[in-house]
Amino acid sequence: MASMRDIKRRRGSVQSTQQITKAMKLVSTVKLQKAKQRAEETTNYFDAMYNTVQNMLAKSGNINHPYLNPSDSNKKLIIMITSNKGLAGGYNSNIVKLITQGGFKKEEVMISAIGKKGKEFMARAEYPIVADHCDMIDAPVYDDARLIAKEALDLFAKGEIGEIYLAYTHFKNTVSHIPTMIKLLPVEADGNREQSEDDKVPMNFEPKEEEALQLIIPTYITSLIYGGMLESVASENGARMQAMDSATSNAEEIIDKLTLQYNRARQGAITQELTEIIAGAQAIS
């Protein structure tokens, strides 16, 4: 049986770990509130944008534009959003798994990394990393998303890549975060989308469809990336909150167990001491 001192020391160390996880949980709870609000505010813009683009595609069925057609290159750029910090449960590894087990051929994939954790993992797995925007995920702003979108579109325009994907964590609600992969380019009409009233109205475009698409698609992609970043930040904090919550309760369990052991050991020591004293007294008399 472990000595009293050992048990006491171990309990102390678990206790201080618990204090840290408790504090981290509180911090991420606060951050989650903020991030959640921001993500929700973007939803308006994003939905309107999505509807407009789908609406355009639905109406202008047979327009020919490079953004709508697959190009010759078989390379795929994946914009990968993870976090800069760990201790968030499965948050980062879920995104990594999404890519490594997503049916992509390693030699066809290029990574544009937002978030250090994902970048480090992909670099270890020897995926080529073409862009590194890790500092942006700490405080995403719209201009950052525009930069990333421009970079990706430039590669696409040069013919170096044929498809662009976005891997992010969809923030469904506080407890449920879904790693998601969406295709940004070429843009496809969503077959599952319900036809709304607005879709039936014949729409004019000024300038003409092709030109309008040329201008709207980059904005559309920027907004997707921006929305993805905000949702990922919210998910990250949600995931960390959950991870730290379970770490705190696990620590609680261990502390309870150790306290029990400690008390037993103490009682054992007292009993032994008493037995010894009595035995000693009997020996004298």
Partner 1 sequence: MAEDRNFELEIITPDRVFYKGRATMVEFNTTEGEIGVYKNHIPTTVIIKPGVLTITSEEKKIAALHSGFATILQDKITILAEIIEWAAEIDEERALASKERAENRIREGHEATDMARAETSLLRAMARIKSKK
Q: Residue numbers of the site for partner 1 (CB under 8 A)?
A: 38, 41-42, 44-45, 48-49, 52, 55-56, 142, 146, 198, 201-207, 211-212, 215-216, 219, 222-223, 226
Query: In which residue are the tokens 């201008």 written?
Result: 215
Report the SS3 class of residue 202.
coil
Q: Work out how close the CB of 197 gets to partner 1 at its nearest, in angstroms, rounded to a whole number.
A: 10
Structure token digits, residue 263 = 């008390």
Of the pair 202, 280, the CB lying nearest partner 1 is at 202
How far lies 146's CA from each of 142, 218, 228, 235, in Å? Answer: 6, 8, 13, 22
Least Å from the CB of residue 115 to partner 1: 20
Shortest spacing between CB 206 and partner 1, in angstroms: 5
Nearer to partner 1, 191 or 202 (CB): 202
* Smallest separation (angstroms) from partner 1 to the CB of 96: 28
3-class secondary-structure state, position 4? helix
DSSP state at residue 218: H
User: Which two tokens mark 173?
Assistant: 């609600």
E strand or H helix at 53 = helix 4-59
Least distance in angstroms from the C-beta of 203 to partner 1 = 5
Shortest separation between residue 111's beta carbon and partner 1, angstroms: 25
CA 102 to chain centre: 16
Between helix 209-284 and helix 142-157 the angle, nearest 10°, is 120
* Cβ closest to partner 1, residue 47 vs residue 253: 47
Q: Which is nearer to partner 1, 125 or 189 (CB)?
A: 189
> Which residue, 161 or 225, is less far from partner 1 as judged by CB?
225
- Give SS3 for 19: helix
The residue among 128 and 207 lying less far from partner 1, judged by its C-beta, is 207
